[in-house]
Amino acid sequence: MNSALGIGMTSQRTRNRMIDRLRDKGIIDERVLAAMAIVPRHLFMDEAMAHRAYEDTALPIKHGQTISQPWVVAKMTEIVLQYQPKKILEIGTGSGYQAAILGQLVDAVFSVERIDNLTRTARRRFVKLGYRNVRTKTGDGFDGWANEAPYDLIIGTAAAEKIPESLLSQLKPSGVMLLPVGDSNSQNLIKVTKTFDGYESEILDAVMFVPFLQGTIRK
Ligand code: SAH
């Protein structure tokens, strides 16, 4: 049965073992670990994959996309919390898992996904799990979600070829954008800070994500 409680490989005990492993791998923010101990990752993927949900690995979801590796989600979330954001825009909803984790820790999460089918599946999960402060819509992430702007922070969960300057207008003054930038050979996690006359950027870490693509898919 695919319930939030889970059994066997999807049980709370298995989830707790994932938390122990994240700790071993250097995740120290207890707020992040607590959120990841609560959110049932096995419900953010197809049932056939659920028995692997608490392995520390990215797993395939539909449309050739992936649910990010737990360690990556934890690390990104740790960095996000350093800026104490209240309202976040996520680009690349995918399974909805990263958005759900953020939703445990900040006031509101708005997430944009280009593949409508993934958007609808993620939205069903948020409703079912009662994550009322997490919303998703289909769109090209590079257009952001203007109606809900401005955001304290924007997080990208796919790699952009270059810094998406178009999104700066949806950030509050001094707001931060955190996203992987690069191609399939080399990517860095970049922190972009909005300044009064533009932005400053800083390289945080080498990473590997699926690419951002242009345009939406509705089917
Ligand atoms: N945050 C997700 C990870 C998803 S992988 C999770 O926790 O599961 C990245 C996602 O970004 C994919 O679903 C992909 O379809 C989406 N994506 C790629 N380019 C995009 C764009 N231009 N706008 C919005 N979403 C995009």
In this structure, CATH architecture of domain 56-207: 3-Layer(aba) Sandwich (3.40)
pTM attached to this predicted model: 0.96
Cα→Cα distances 59→50, 62, 64, 115, Å: 10, 10, 10, 17
- Give the whole-number percent of the chain exceeding pLDDT 90: 86
CA distance 31 to 73: 13
To test ligand 1's pocket by mutation, which of 65, 112, 116 has the most ligand atoms within 8 angstroms of CB? 65
Ligand 1 center to residue 20 CA distance, Å?
A: 28
Name the closest-CA residue to atom 23, ligand 1.
Answer: 141
Torsion of the alpha carbons at 109, 115, 121 and 127, rounded to the nearest 10: 30
- Cβ–Cβ contacts within 10 Å for residue 183, how many? 9
Is 68 an annotated catalytic residue? Answer: yes
Asked whether residue 40 carries a pLDDT value surpassing 80, the answer given is yes
In tens, the pLDDT along 160-202 reads: 999 999 999 999 999 999 999 998 889 999 999 999 999 999 9
Tell me if residue 172 falls in helix, strand or coil. Answer: strand
Q: Which sequence spans correspond to the domains of the chain?
A: 56-207
Residue 92 Cβ inside 6 Å of ligand 1? The answer reads yes
181 lines ligand 1 (CB under 6 A): no
Q: Each residue of 79-110: pLDDT tens digit?
A: 999 999 999 999 999 999 999 999 999 999 99
Cβ of residue 28 lying under 6 Å from some atom of ligand 1: no
| DSSP letter assigned to residue 161 | S
